[in-house]
Amino acid sequence: MRRLLVSITIWAILCCLWMAVVCSSASAELFSAAIYGEQIGPPNSFKWKYTLVNTSADNNYVAWLMAIAVDEGTEVLNVMSPKGWSSDTSIPSFITWMGISGNVPAGNALGGFVAEFSKDPGVQTWSIMFVNLQNSDESPVEVGSVITPEPGTFAAIATGLIALGGALKRRR
């Protein structure tokens, strides 16, 4: 029975890893991006850090502008930018970061974008503007929602790994 449980657990982990690889490689487009967000600080604070990932399949597309919109009525209290980037919060519930002396090439990521809000920002949508290094007249835009890690996912994987480790230890 234990051997069956161990086999099922290993099979489930391998399936999850395979799906992650297949889904990430299938979504490759000429220009594409993702923004990962994480709430930082104490639970009652509304401070977030963001990472911009340029997932473009074509190395000519460089991300140079990032904007995040939050729920209406949410004030932006404080913003920090990575080196080479500036920010603008003149539009309510909206933050724009622009690469002044630093861009994000295809296949690279840049962290250090931080924003503090007056309340829970709710749904966070983003826009990324690219420039095509081969054709400077082309500046496509990609839009999406901020990706946040699900604590339940990490807990489920950890539980499976602990069970697997326990089963292997008892087997010896």
pLDDT at residue 15 is higher than 50:
no
Within a domain: 78: yes
Q: Is the pLDDT of residue 113 over 90?
A: yes
Question: Is residue 47 pLDDT above 50, yes or no?
Answer: yes
Residue 77 covered by a domain:
yes
| Closest by Cα among 110, 121, 108, 81 to 97 | 81
Is the model's pTM score more than 0.85? no
Residue 6 has a pLDDT of 46
Domain count, the chain: 1
Q: Is 20 helix (H, G, I), strand (E, B) or coil?
A: helix
User: Could you tell me the two tokens for 74?
Assistant: 């949410």
Q: In this predicted model, what pLDDT tens digit does every residue of 57-109 receive, in sequence order?
A: 999 999 999 999 999 999 999 999 999 999 999 998 999 999 988 899 999 99
3-class secondary structure, 11? helix
Residue 119 included in any domain: yes
Beta bridge partners of 38: 49
Compute the average pLDDT of residues 105-121. Answer: 94
DSSP 22: H
pLDDT given for residue 102 in this prediction: 82
- Residue 3: pLDDT band with limits 50, 70, 90: low
Please check whether residue 136 lies inside any domain of the structure.
yes
Domain that holds residue 60: 28-149
Residue 128: per-residue pLDDT:
93
Q: How far apart are CA 115 and CA 124, in angstroms?
A: 12
Sheet holding 33-40: strands in order across?
33-40, 47-54, 109-117, 76-80
Q: Answer whether residue 4 is part of any domain.
A: no
Longest dimension (CA), the chain: 65
Query: Which pLDDT does position 44 carry in this prediction?
Result: 82
Rounded Cα–Cα distance for residues 131 and 99 (Å): 11
* CATH classification at residue 121: 2.60.40.680
Cβ proximity of 68 and 48 under 8 Å: no
Spatial separation of the C-alpha atoms in residues 164 and 154, rounded to whole Å = 15
Whether 157 is in a domain gets the answer no
- Determine the 3-state secondary structure of 152 from DSSP: helix
